[in-house]
Structure 1
């Protein structure tokens, strides 16, 4: 973070502050939608997804807004932990509501196990093995491509396209995240995250239904 200018950090905070506000609105919309279906599974799936992204964007905003080294370290742990939870949260509606069955529930347990392992060891990952941490995030995200087959028989084609397009945007965004000598590279990464999570929100809101 030391190599990033204050103005860049300001835009990093603004971009994900905007994401935090949108996520809060999205969570309310999803909970309202879940009330249309007389099944707790929808409320649980939508709530986990929405809350995980509220946490993701809030922790990122706090990290990039902080000027205290002590709090900055804490917010960095929260931020990286929230990424693990948001990845698992993104899968939850698709696995819990759309896919269901032995495969859906098994994959749901697996992805959340990965997330909790990541959260448990996040301090260690940040301090010593950050490249491996990025690989861990990417490995979790790439499960999307494995789900194409099982989901295509249950999810409308537009919903599947939005899911895949969101995954591709995350991967492209990683290029800018790693492009450290590019000015505002982290803000660009944030914009890709916003676009990708927007695709997934639309897919879940419109197509993860009975």
Structure 2
């Protein structure tokens, strides 16, 4: 599921902002890797948390291979929000992978804090797409 959400996050940036064959090829590559990731998780259901999280983060940051073309078609604010979202997702992913028991803010433990970072990353990407791409 998470692999599909990551691939879906690429869709507006690849298929609308980049467009053309470059965007289509990159999106198809990302979607294919996402399907491979799903098959991997189906075959190794109990893979270590750090490994599955590393795969999610790696797929998310594959966008760096298209940073130059993206910087040519995206508004600077949209690109900033895209990168900010990636950073927020990554911080959340690291918290999830490490499960730091000492990380608490009031009644919020590491898992709730992980979700806050994921929500903020999603919000950043949503604003980037809604405000600058659609």
Q: Please classify the TM superposition score into its range, dividing by the shorter chain length.
A: 0.7 to 0.9
Q: Equivalents in 1 of 2:27, 2:9: separation in Å?
A: 11
Instruction: Within 5 Å, give how 1:168-207 maps onto structure 2.
Output: 168-180=87-99, 181-182=101-102, 183=104, 184-207=109-132
Instruction: Map Cα deviations across residues 9-47 of structure 1 (whole Å, 9 max, x no partner).
Output: xxxxxxxxxxxxxxxxxxxxxxxxxxxxxxxxxxxxxxx
Q: Given the alignment, which residue of 126, 130, 149 partners 2:45? A: 126
Tell me the CA shift for residue 147 of structure 1.
Answer: 2.5
Instruction: Map Cα deviations across residues 42-73 of structure 1 (whole Å, 9 max, x no partner).
Output: xxxxxxxxxxxxxxxxxxxxxxxxxxxxxxxx
Q: Equivalents in 1 of 2:41, 2:116: separation in Å?
A: 24
Conserved in 1, the CA contact under 8 Å of 2:71 and 2:79? yes
Q: Equivalents in 2 of 1:145, 1:189: separation in Å?
A: 23
2:84 aligned residue: 165
Unaligned runs of 5+ in 1: 1-81
Q: Equivalents in 2 of 1:125, 1:179: separation in Å?
A: 20
Conserved in 1, the CA contact under 8 Å of 2:16 and 2:133? yes
Tell me the CA shift for residue 179 of structure 1.
Answer: 3.4
Conserved in 1, the CA contact under 8 Å of 2:53 and 2:94? no
2:63 aligned residue: 144
Q: Equivalents in 2 of 1:156, 1:188: separation in Å?
A: 30
Tell whether 2:8 aligns with 1:83.
no
Conserved in 1, the CA contact under 8 Å of 2:82 and 2:124? yes
Q: Which structure is richer in relative contact order (CA contacts within 8 A, separation 6 or more)?
A: 2
Tell me the CA shift for residue 117 of structure 1.
Answer: 1.3
2:26 aligned residue: 107
Unaligned runs of 5+ in 2: none
TM-score normalised per structure 2: 0.87
TM-score normalised per structure 1: 0.57
Q: Equivalents in 2 of 1:84, 1:175: separation in Å?
A: 17
Instruction: Map Cα deviations across residues 165-199 of structure 1 (whole Å, 9 max, x no partner).
Output: 00011111123213322351011000000000000
